Amino acid sequence: MEAILQTFSLTKRFGDVLAVDHVNLRVNEGELFGFLGPNGAGKTTTISMLVGLLYPTEGRVEILGDEVTPTHTAPLRRVGTLIPPVGFVPYLSGRENLRLLVHLYPEVDDRRIEEILEQVGLRDAAHRRVKTYSTGMKQRLGLAAALLHRPKLLILDEPTSGLDPIGMKEMRELLRRLADEGTTIFLSSHLLHEVEQICDRVAILHHGRILAEGTVQELLRGRRDLEDVFLSVIEGN
């Protein structure tokens, strides 16, 4: 299978703190890949390097077969990203914020914007300024922005944070459906049951290091659930 996203010995150090320690990841085409770890494990730092916001101290990132660095982010135009807090222009409406993206993705038209607003359940609130949105609404709009141009790869950091239980369920179903339709998804989360329910493969990150990686079935072998796997891996370290 073709690798859509790969990291090679990816490392990030902030002064004396080793936030990400020689992480090697491989996400294959069409896969829904779960990136698990407790708070402070280095998930967001890793994702920030994937999307060219941070310079790695060592190692490199390849997305869609092309290297990504903070000064070479062109491959990311074919990627959908959701990294909270999602940075929308607060004095523009939800719809206007999505319209700004049309300048970046010329293939997107007004019909697609309305379609995606409907899909994330924001059509009725799309005329409101983003500064009046709740966290959950911003998260939904963030997902709309990520999906707008029908990307081949989605990089999502805690996409269900701020959503109510119904919203979380809808989000899980949407992500599973997108993966089934062929979109590759890199999903970072600390919600174990969420990852267990929808992901094909999982990597567990702790103190910046990958402690376990495999399909959900492989990791669950002899274990009750992913929480059991997670705790034994973390505590065993």
Exactly one of 70, 118, 180, 215 binds another protein (CB under 8 A); that residue is: 70
Q: Restricting to residues 41-60, which ones interact with another protein according to CB under 8 A?
A: 44, 48, 51-55
Exactly one of 27, 76, 137, 178 binds another protein (CB under 8 A); that residue is: 76
Judge whether 185 and 81 are in contact, CB under 8 Å: no
Does 18 engage in binding with another protein (CB under 8 A)? Answer: no
How many whole angstroms separate alpha carbon 237 and alpha carbon 233?
Answer: 6
Exactly one of 106, 165, 182, 236 binds another protein (CB under 8 A); that residue is: 106
Of the candidates 83, 84, 101, the residue with the CA atom closest to the CA atom of residue 92: 101
Taking each helix axis from N to C end, the angle separating 165-180 and 135-147, rounded to the nearest 10 degrees, works out to 10
Q: Which is nearer to another protein, 89 or 231 (CB)?
A: 89
Smallest distance, another protein to C-beta of residue 197, A: 26
Burial class (CB in 10 A: 0-12, 13-18, 19+), 107: exposed
Exactly one of 9, 90, 132, 180 binds another protein (CB under 8 A); that residue is: 90
How many CB atoms within 10 Å of residue 202? 26
Judge whether 45 and 20 are in contact, CB under 8 Å: yes
Query: Whose structure tokens read 């989360």?
Result: 189
Q: Which is nearer to another protein, 91 or 124 (CB)?
A: 91
Q: Which is nearer to another protein, 23 or 226 (CB)?
A: 23
How many whole angstroms separate alpha carbon 194 and alpha carbon 236?
Answer: 23
Does 103 engage in binding with another protein (CB under 8 A)? Answer: yes
Exactly one of 15, 16, 39, 91 binds another protein (CB under 8 A); that residue is: 91
Q: What are the tokens at 5?
A: 């996203």
Residues that bind another protein (CB under 8 A): 44, 48, 51-55, 70-71, 73-79, 81, 83-92, 96, 100-101, 103-104, 106, 145
